Amino acid sequence: MSVLNVSRLKVSYPSRDGVFDVVRGLSFELDEADSLGIAGESGSGKSQTALAIMGLLPDNARVSGSIRLDGQELLGESEQDLDRLRGKSLAMVFQDPLSALNPYMTVGRQIGEVLELHQGMSAKEAARRSCELLQMTGIDEPGRRSKAYPHQFSGGQRQRILIAMALACGPRLLIADEPTTALDVTVQKKILELLRSLCQEIGTALILISHDLAVLSGMCRNLMIMYAGMEMERGLSEQVLLQATHPYTAALLRTLEDLHGGAGPLSVIPGEPPDMRNPPGGCPFHPRCTEVMPHCSEVIPRPRPVKRIAGAQSQWVACHLEPEQ
């Protein structure tokens, strides 16, 4: 059953030169306990999509389309109703754990507040459950450590605390936006594994955002590649990696292969990501695409189903090279 259903999502901002779109007609679904990795270069619309789902976009953002959580439409909900959902059914883990935690409150109290607010627990029950959650996320001596302040923990431990807080109420959906970018590489893998295993245990659907395709493919069952606010390719991670169909996905993978042991010079994708105030017409990737055809600069390719596994539609690609199957 679908936990999250995003349909024709569009996010725009007004500017002196008119309104410009940063997310352009995005549609996807996510099932219970399933996982989706969203990859793309800076400015591809990954984080704007996450913030739109959480209802955390700035006041001047204009959002249209539909975002449904367990069938409930989130767009147009009051701030009060969204506050009730955030922390309970919807949770997010941010890149910088220090700025996401209150420096003046013990970590046990911060987790406890979430439980009191959304689960109606007494202060005593919440304190006990906070210790259990800290232990679950690998914090030693949780009874003692729950009384410590955020600055008394390492970066990796702070991210574990944020994960404990995010999963405290067993949310239906957790979004983690570059959750390990600020951490040491040796800690990154452990934190991501923790995130994945806890989500699976609780049955929480996970959206993981990163520019690192290797990390995403190892963590998530499904993968979506975004460019210029649009979906370029989406499917089962294994299939997207092994049979990348979109020229942009293929170019991203070439840079990855070279970084991880290629013998020749490093591949780079020629050109720059587009300025979203004035994006190229037609396929947004056409100025950088090695396969570009004359009509690519005129007609926007829409995501189409291609390749099926045992009768199931498993891959969507937005490129004029791909005939629908």
Residues forming contacts to ligand SF4 in the complex (CB under 6 A) are 247, 283, 285-286, 289, 291-293, 296, 301, 319-321
Distance CA 95, CA 81 (A): 25
Give CA separation, 23 vs 9, 65, 170, 226, in Å.
Answer: 7, 11, 29, 10
Which residue is listed with tokens 């995130």? 195
**Least spacing, CB of residue 42 vs ligand SF4, in Å:** 19
C-beta neighbour count of 14 within 10 angstroms: 11
Q: Which sign does the torsion angle of CA 134, 140, 142, 145 carry?
A: negative
**Least spacing, CB of residue 10 vs ligand SF4, in Å:** 20
Choose between 39 and 215: whose C-beta lies nearer to ligand SF4: 39
Choose between 109 and 246: whose C-beta lies nearer to ligand SF4: 246
**Least spacing, CB of residue 321 vs ligand SF4, in Å:** 5
Burial track 265-291 (b if 16+ CB lie within 10 A, e otherwise): eebebeeebbebeebeebbbbbbbbee
Choose between 187 and 293: whose C-beta lies nearer to ligand SF4: 293
Identify the bridge partners of residue 234 per DSSP, sorted by sequence position.
224, 316
Choose between 153 and 285: whose C-beta lies nearer to ligand SF4: 285
Choose between 65 and 287: whose C-beta lies nearer to ligand SF4: 287
The residues near 239 (Cβ < 8 Å, ≥ 6 apart) are: 307, 309, 314, 315
